[in-house]
Amino acid sequence: MSLFTRNAIIALVIALGITGTIIYAVSYLNRARIAELSTIEDQLSIDTLSLDTQFSLLEAAPCESSATSTTLTSELSDLGNRLSYAEDQLGSDNQQVIRLKEQYSLLEIRDYLINKQLAAACGTKPVTVLYFYSNKKGTCADCDKAGYALSYLHTTYPALRVYSFDYNLDLGALKTLIALLKIDNDLPAFVINGKHSSGFTSLADLEKQFPKGALATTTTPTKK
């Protein structure tokens, strides 16, 4: 066997080994992503049932014995982060990602309604942000920066409730919410404790949109 032939065979074996490794790695990552999406879907189903149960409990429980904020708030944030990661990996047009975003958006709306109910019945004063964004190219140049800023604020001020919605999601309940709040397509858009604003320039400017001292407070019930 000539030196050239031997080197060619070695090169071919190495190339096949590299190709096989890449195929295996891609297959492994795809399985891991599918497993992650399934985990998110299962958790969303459990949390949806939990919210339904909370609605029933809150109808009968006095404010003093009920939690002034739902236990799902931190779980919602964690699920949102995991869903954002899945969307980054698989793309915003992936059908399973879209379905999970729809479920997650419904969960957010229901949690938002629970907290509005608590605020009215128990005198709590939550600091709430409804954030509307778009992932479509060319429709929202500042949405990523706005999202990062809100994530920072939520980490810094755990009592802050942030509900993020994909403005273009084809979901009846979300469209109704958008219509009721009169949100147009000037994105990013915010509703901070009922006050509307749109556009994003900086974290400092976003913080100015909050009521004075609101970020420094925690949600506590008013005794009656």
Give the list of residues 6+ apart from residue 191 with CB closer than 8 angstroms, or none. Answer: 128, 129, 130, 181, 183
User: Is 224 within the bounds of a domain?
Assistant: no
User: Is 221 within the bounds of a domain?
Assistant: no
| Average pLDDT score, the chain | 77
Whether the pTM exceeds 0.75: the reply is no
Q: What is the pLDDT of residues 5-51, one digit of tens each?
A: 666 667 776 776 777 676 655 555 555 655 666 777 776 667 667 76
Q: Which residues of 201-223 are buried (b: 16+ CB within 10 A; e: fewer)?
A: eeeeebeeebeeebeeeebebee
Q: What is the pLDDT of residues 171-189, one digit of tens each?
A: 999 999 999 999 988 999 9
User: Do 214 and 193 meet the contact criterion of CB atoms below 8 Å apart?
Assistant: yes
User: Is 111 within the bounds of a domain?
Assistant: yes
| Domain total of the chain | 1
User: Is 223 within the bounds of a domain?
Assistant: no
Local confidence band at 212 (pLDDT 50, 70, 90 cut-offs): confident
DSSP 223: P
Higher pLDDT, 122 or 62: 122
User: Do 222 and 124 meet the contact criterion of CB atoms below 8 Å apart?
Assistant: yes
User: Is 158 within the bounds of a domain?
Assistant: yes
- The reply to whether omega before 188 is within 30° of 0 (cis) is yes
* Structural domain span for residue 90: 3-216
Q: What is the pLDDT of residues 123-163, one digit of tens each?
A: 777 889 999 999 888 889 899 899 999 988 988 887 788 99
* CATH number of the domain where residue 174 is located: 3.40.30.10
Give the list of residues 6+ apart from residue 17 with CB closer than 8 angstroms, or none. Answer: none
- How confident is the model at residue 167, as a pLDDT? 94
User: Is 222 within the bounds of a domain?
Assistant: no
